[in-house]
Chains A and B, each alone.
Chain A
Amino acid sequence: MTETLTFLLSGTLLAGTPLLIAALGELVTEKSGILNLSVEGMMAVGAIFAFMVVTGGGSYWVALAAGGMAALVVAALFAVVVIFTLANQVAAGLAVGILGLGLAGLIGDPFEAQTVPPMPKLPIPGLAGLPVLGRGLFDHVPVVYLAPVLALATWLMLTRTRLGLLLRSAGENPDAANSIGINVRFVRFCATLYGGFCAGVAGGFISVVSATLWADGIIAGRGWIVVALVVFGTWRAGRIAIGAYLFGLATLSGLLVQTTGVAIPSQLLTSIPYIVTIVAIALLSMNPKLTWLNAPVSLGQPYLPTK
């Protein structure tokens, strides 16, 4: 029983961390008014670049940063297409996402099914020795501890800083922002790059920390769950964090059910996160007020400054 609980806590954090990191990045992008649907592709690109760095003998931190930078380049392509050539953001997101998945598969072809050693853990002194909770919560790689800190920082940035005001103004009313001298396209461009970087780090986390292997299609729809998480969290960092860990837990439910010995088709268990996503989106979209108060008004609409 305690084993199961420890496994659940630890597994939830491990599965929830990449979702949270990528979703916080997407949150910043969306707050600026850009809907980036290419998260799946950006995560895949991040995953393969991080994997190559570790395979080539680089450190895990360098690997995650490389994953982030590679995905940032992909995000830059998306940003140029939607911000400067004013493309439809849904179509452009799908397009760049497909391109990212294809590139990741192509670059990763020679690495298919290779593995890397796990990233060293950093048990927190004192806390890691606690029964159940210690190994569940405080015996992880450092990135796992940093993710909730990033959520807090994102929340503070959006609500308490001038940078947050700039982002939100560009997303709420780009015309007004332009008229008071804010460079809306620049703000949106940077926010999109940042979102790409986060997606890349998250993808890298999946390939070199949690899975420790490369396989084509390793992201397996997580990029779309990330997009759903932002909707689920009604564009608020705190709710997104809760959502990310809940989804992390949902991905474990399969393993959990198997331990109880009940015979359920494995395919149904694999489907649980997707089903949970659909139900969560439906329930949270029911209340338009929640969305109205937090969703960026101009989300997904091309913006052409009056010049």
Chain B
Amino acid sequence: MALLELCGITKSFGAVTAAQSLDLSIQPGEIHAILGENGAGKSTLMKIIYGVLQADAGTMSWDGQPLHIENPAQARAYGIGMVFQHFSLFETLTVAENVALSSGVSVARATTHIERSGARFGLEIPAAAKVHALSQGERQRVEIIRALMGDPKLIIMDEPTSVLAPTAIPGFFGIVRDLAAAGCAVLFISHKLSEIRTLCHTATVMRRGQIVATVDPTETSQADLARLMIGRDIPHPKRAVATVSDTPILKVTDVTVADDNPFGTTLKDVSLTVHGGEIVGIAGISGNGQQLLAHVLSGEIPLSPGQGDIVFDGRPVGRHGVAERRAAGLAYVPEDRQAQGSVPELSLTENALLTGHMAGLIQHGLIRRAAATAFSERCIDDMDVRCAGTGAEARSLSGGNLQKFIVGRELALTPRLLIAAQPTWGVDIGAAQAIHQKLVDLRQDGLGVLVISDELDDLLEISDRIHVMFRGQLSASIPRAEAREDVIGALMAGSFAEAVAAS
């Protein structure tokens, strides 16, 4: 008998149907993949199973009995655990306090449980440590331990490998297999095809809120899975030969900066160069100082004397703020498009003004409204942004279209260098492809491009050279030809940093 059975589950948000009559069956001890691209409805589905959201229609059953879940506490009572992608941990509390809080036991009992799970599943973690002192991978262990607290029969894992270095993934898969062998079913949510083919017994493929297929992933080729997932072949950006400039556009030397946030990572002796006509990638597990690096490069955190040098186009700009660096020809697509790259409540024209104001849109302190509208129209046309016109509010756009608009705005300023942080995070494959193609085109036009991303596959596809960040340090760059996944993976686990520390 199936452990969990879903029948006709439907959920809409306004006019958007995020889940449309989904049927799903999970057996005890099964590792079951839910596969789909961003926006396919994976997270809606798992939130319904975990009781965070309620379905508009459809039924669920658990061990053959009807299942009604109104909130996560009920889900846990049934034996459903959850490991979130964006951890729901409390940074100022200890590991034991975090576990105690969600499971309702005393801190002392939580500590015993943490030690026991550590020994049984290889999830060692110090129970008395404050969460803010832990790495992303360690935090994930806390999440898993917390999920195990209620002796679950089903654990939902949302993109669990996104916080792990490639070298740590086999070990993690071992833990998942042990759990399954112990009789616990695992719902494994991912968009990484190779991982699913290695680990999972069954794969359910979702597209646009619907289930399009349920297959045995070991019997299905990667290309077939991809085609099921996006409805066509995965497109690749067309790359031609580009001329690399002799002198670098950006030269960063020995930058050492501490984060204002005491929980943050400190940058240590970071050096890199970007020439015109090349794409330099910065890989690494998120939380290793990439955000701080982006802020230091963009000018949001200007350098003080003794913190290193940044030379842009032959001129030192380390002490300059955002405005001066932008005026010199540096454009930047930030990681958080909702809270940084745009203002959701403002119109696209007003959002274009955010950085586009320097393109002659201001006169005597007043906004030239016609010029601003024309400027935002250009951003929309250049990147083929789907929207209701320049007056549409930024929040009315989908993630992919908003990101395309932001990229278009930055490029309309005709920069010499573009820095893009997580440019395709959370966008659909169509938009991701358009953005990648644009970056590659810029390189052909002789611009310097620096891409900071967690998605190693994307970086491998578009970069000419790749650096890796680990705990605030930056590795030497690896040329495209040598940048295989295993090489970069070792660097992501910090192999180079140890070498530096030992020397």
Contact = CB atoms under 8 A, between A and B. Distances in A.
CB–CB under 8 A between A and B in the complex?
Answer: yes
B84 A179 contact: yes
Contacts of B260: 288
Interface string B57-73: 00000000000000111
B89 A176 contact: yes
A162 B72 contact: no
Contacts of A168: 90, 92-93
Interface in A112-128: none
Interface in B41-87: 52-54, 71-73, 76, 82, 84, 87
B88 A165 contact: no
Contact of A181 (B53, B90, B97, B102): B102
Given A165-B101, A181-B76, A176 B88 contact: yes
B53 A169 contact: no
Contacts of B440: none
B352 interface: no
B117 to A, nearest CB: 17
A293 interface: yes
A218 to B, nearest CB: 38
A166 interface: yes
Nearest to B260: A288
A168 B102 CA distance: 13
B261 interface: yes
Contacts of B71: 181
B262 interface: yes
Contact of B72 (A169, A181, A288): A181
A179 B88 contact: yes
Interface in A161-199: 162, 165-166, 168-169, 172-173, 175-177, 179-182
B91 interface: yes
Given A180-B88, A292-B262, A169 B52 contact: no
Interface of A: 162, 165-166, 168-169, 172-173, 175-177, 179-182, 288-289, 292-293, 306-307
Interface of B: 52-54, 71-73, 76, 82, 84, 87-93, 97, 100-102, 106, 146, 260-263
Nearest to B261: A292
A169 B93 contact: yes
A175 to B, nearest CB: 7
Given A176-B88, A176-B89, 15 more contacts: A162-B100, A162-B101, A165-B100, A169-B101, A172-B92, A179-B72, A179-B82, A180-B146, A181-B72, A181-B73, A181-B76, A181-B102, A288-B260, A306-B53, A307-B53
A141 B240 CA distance: 86
21 contacts: A165-B101, A166-B101, A172-B90, A172-B91, A172-B92, A173-B89, A173-B90, A173-B91, A176-B87, A176-B89, A176-B90, A177-B88, A179-B52, A181-B73, A182-B101, A289-B262, A292-B261, A292-B263, A306-B52, A307-B53, A307-B54
A292 to B, nearest CB: 5
A288 B262 CA distance: 9
A175 B84 CA distance: 12
Nearest to A296: B92
A176 B89 CA distance: 6
Nearest to A294: B92
